Copies of this chain bind each other. A is one copy, B any other.
Amino acid sequence: MKAVAKLQRGPGAELIDAPEPAVGPRDVLIRVKATSICGTDVHIYEWDPWSAGRIKPPIIFGHELGGVVEDVGPEVTCVRRGDLVSVETHIVCGTCYQCQMGEAHVCDRVSILGIDRDGAFAELVAVPEANVWVNPPSLSAEVAAIQEPLGNAVHSVLAGAVAGCRVAVLGCGPIGLWSVAVSRAAGATAIYAVEPSGYRRELAARMGATRVMDPRDTDVVSRIREFTQGVGADVVLEMSGNATAIGDGFRIARNGGRVSLLGLPPRPVELDLSNDIVLRGLTVQGIAGRQMYATWVQTSNLVNSGLVDPATAITHRFPLEDFREAFAVVKGGACGKVVLNP
């Protein structure tokens, strides 16, 4: 089968002809109809320090996918051939302390699709039944694919109160854009979207931001304090991983407010803990993955009810073969979500 793989340590990737994946007794084989590019995939493609420490080529990467079930192992009970499915990409142990506590999304022994095992940039992929999410047949394959990163946004937004609250979203890549949409659907009464790319600011406005700001020409801390009568935002969703944005984020939050961190800064960040967090009584949350599977239930309900239309954030589509062009678009930043079709 056709697949995009990292064959050796270093930048780049190759289109290969790979053998079909083996299907274990509790596995589901999926024919990939749409797969989308995550920031993590860009790190792997470019072979950044994190990738160099984690990825062991040869590996087919990619982990966001929507597809149709082609086959199931003999012990699979709930998934059927022909089902339109999405995939939770964290394959968890089920027995560590966190798994026992109902916090499998921070499992101590997680294995991730397309990072620790062959992934979704391929015509076929095999995953454990437990990780398969069955969608209504009317859903499009590309929305099925993006439910996984949309779930990150849902997890972030719903990690605390949001209805009746004023929310700041820092960074409007795809997860930031969906955070705007989910905040809107969940009753945020003002949504301040901060993003340097004009292309993405426009998308943010279309997805429900009440104010969009360019942090390069706006003092966002002052502006948001002004919009909130000096109070600050009840909720700050940090989606950029940018050190300046993170520092601003704590100062944008009102006393007693919530700052949910999803963006991954590549280096340590210096924080004024005393004045920005302790004395102001903030709550700071690290947001990892999706709650398994409460976030999927919420995401699915929001999408299938039409309250959130995540497809608005899909701006580019390429055949899988044109993956180099697709990665170039993602790196350029003038895009929302980029989809590959195998």
In this assembly, does A189 line the interface, its C-beta being within 8 Å of a C-beta of chain B?
A: yes
Contact A100 B280 (CB under 8 A): no
**Which of A30-38, A168-176, A286-294, A317-325 contacts its partner?**
A286-294
* In the complex, chain B residues whose CB is within 8 Å of the CB of A165: 298, 301
Shortest C-beta distance, A88 to chain B (Å), equals 11
Q: How far is the CA of A108 from the CA of B228 in the complex (A)?
A: 13
* In the complex, chain B residues whose CB is within 8 Å of the CB of A192: none
Instruction: Give A190's nearest chain B residue, CB to CB.
Output: B305
Contact A103 B256 (CB under 8 A): yes
* In the complex, chain B residues whose CB is within 8 Å of the CB of A241: 274
> Helix, strand, loop or mixed for chain A's interface?
loop
Copies in the complex: 4
Could you tell me which A residues sit within 8 Å of B by CB distance?
77-78, 94-98, 100-103, 105-108, 130, 154, 157-158, 161-166, 182, 185-187, 189-190, 210, 229-231, 241, 246, 254-256, 261-266, 268-274, 277-289, 291-294, 296-299, 301-302, 304-305, 307
Contact A264 B274 (CB under 8 A): yes
Contact A108 B288 (CB under 8 A): no
Q: How far is the CA of A278 from the CA of B130 in the complex (A)?
A: 25
Given contacts A100-B293, A163-B186, contact A278 B254 (CB under 8 A): no
